[in-house]
């Protein structure tokens, strides 16, 4: 059986990926592969250097700080999140136009922050975009933007503390979030592209993203909403694949496939540099945002 017919993770380098798939992003869009991992694209020492900087500058909390009643947030973001600002906990209004203006303004501040945040280290956002560009065949990878040129935030650091879990879900601006007033809703497929910055354990017990070979459909939606997805997956023998990564590894998957990450345990927050990616077969642009 050809590698591309098996539901696996392509790795470890670009050459291998292109050996197996002439157009790896199309393979992801078709859910023929679970994901792509490119190992060691970012210096692990710079990963730990950045974590230290975030704590020193008060951008995230020191995991040693006590959290007796578990009241402190289990996830801290550095950057702008479209979904959180358009319709989630950081929305400023009930008016979608006001939320959009506020999101784009916040995104501008993220561009300013990221222009100096990495001073003294390699720029991990550039590394992530470089990986995507290398994987894109005849398409141009760009920071997502509105037709008037206003840019979305280019990427986000998500720092996950003890207890933080992603139960099975999808991420798709059109299908799931219904944000049709944003340019990124034009894309048929949505991917997630990340760099692992810190695992919550280095003994193999850190949680990682698990991708299910199951694209969103209305039947699955019902099971996701009523909490019976696991039963549905077992009954239908849905394949799944864990994308195991180490600090400095890039990984990419179709976020329109059901995916999950188990709860973080312990005092080392699981940290990723994360993006979403809009992709359509016939579109010569690939938009990236967070």
Q: Does 275 bind Fe ion (CB under 5 A)?
A: no
Backbone angles phi, psi at 131, to 5 degrees: -60, -45
Altogether, the residues listed in the chain come to a count of 290
* Binding-site member from 36, 192, 195, 257 for ligand AKG (CB under 6 A): 192
Collapsed DSSP state (helix, strand, coil) of residue 128: helix
The nearest distance, CB 66 to ligand AKG, in angstroms, is 25
Residue 194 binding target from Fe ion, ligand AKG, none, CB below 5 to 8 Å by type: ligand AKG
Q: Does 172 bind ligand AKG (CB under 6 A)?
A: no
8-state DSSP, 145:
B
Sole window of 23-31, 137-145, 165-173, 196-204 interacting with Fe ion (rule: CB under 5 A):
165-173
The nearest distance, CB 199 to ligand AKG, in angstroms, is 11
The nearest distance, CB 166 to ligand AKG, in angstroms, is 5
Q: Does 171 bind Fe ion (CB under 5 A)?
A: yes
CA distance between the termini of the chain: 36
Q: Which residue is nearest to ligand AKG (CB)?
A: 209
Q: Does 60 bind ligand AKG (CB under 6 A)?
A: no
Q: Does 184 bind ligand AKG (CB under 6 A)?
A: no
In angstroms, the CA 175 to CA 216 distance is: 8
In angstroms, the CA 180 to CA 104 distance is: 15
The nearest distance, CB 209 to ligand AKG, in angstroms, is 4
Nearer to ligand AKG, 43 or 242 (CB): 242
Strand partners, 273: 157, 195
Do the Cβ atoms of 158 and 274 come closer than 8 Å?
yes
Whether residue 12 is preceded by a cis peptide bond, meaning omega within 30 degrees of 0, is yes
Do the Cβ atoms of 59 and 117 come closer than 8 Å?
no
| String marking each residue 248-277 x if it binds ligand AKG according to CB under 6 A | -------x---x-x----------x-x---
Collapsed DSSP state (helix, strand, coil) of residue 240: strand
Do the Cβ atoms of 251 and 36 come closer than 8 Å?
yes
Residues that bind Fe ion (CB under 5 A): 171
Residues that bind ligand AKG (CB under 6 A): 166, 171, 192, 194, 209, 255, 259, 261, 272, 274
């Amino acid at each position: 059986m050809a590698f591309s017919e098996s539901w696996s993770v392509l790795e470890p380098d670009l050459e291998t990926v292109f050996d197996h798939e002439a157009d790896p992003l199309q393979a992801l869009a078709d859910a023929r592969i679970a994901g792509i991992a490119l190992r060691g694209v970012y210096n692990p020492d710079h990963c730990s250097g950045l974590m230290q900087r975030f704590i020193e500058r008060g951008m995230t909390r020191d995991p040693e700080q006590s959290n007796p009643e578990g009241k402190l947030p289990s996830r801290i973001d550095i950057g702008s999140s479209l979904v959180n600002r358009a319709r989630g906990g950081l929305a400023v209004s009930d008016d979608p136009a006001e939320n959009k203006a506020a999101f784009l303004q916040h995104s501008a501040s993220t561009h300013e922050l990221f222009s100096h945040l990495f001073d003294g280290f390699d720029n991990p956002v550039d590394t992530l975009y470089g990986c995507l560009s290398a994987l894109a065949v005849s398409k141009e990878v760009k920071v997502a933007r509105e037709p008037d040129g206003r840019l979305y935030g280019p990427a986000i650091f998500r720092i996950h503390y003890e207890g933080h879990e992603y139960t099975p879900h999808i991420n798709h601006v059109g299908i799931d979030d219904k944000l049709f007033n944003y340019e990124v809703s034009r894309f048929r497929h949505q991917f997630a592209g990340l760099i692992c910055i810190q695992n919550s354990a280095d003994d193999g017990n850190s949680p990682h993203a698990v991708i299910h070979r199951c694209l969103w459909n209305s039947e699955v939606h019902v099971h996701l909403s009523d909490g019976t997805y696991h039963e549905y997956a077992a009954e239908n023998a849905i394949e799944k694949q864990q994308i195991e990564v180490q600090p400095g590894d890039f990984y990419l998957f179709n976020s329109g496939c059901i995916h999950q990450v188990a709860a973080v345990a312990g005092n080392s927050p699981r940290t990723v540099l994360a993006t979403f990616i809009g992709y359509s077969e016939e579109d010569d642009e690939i938009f990236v945002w967070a």
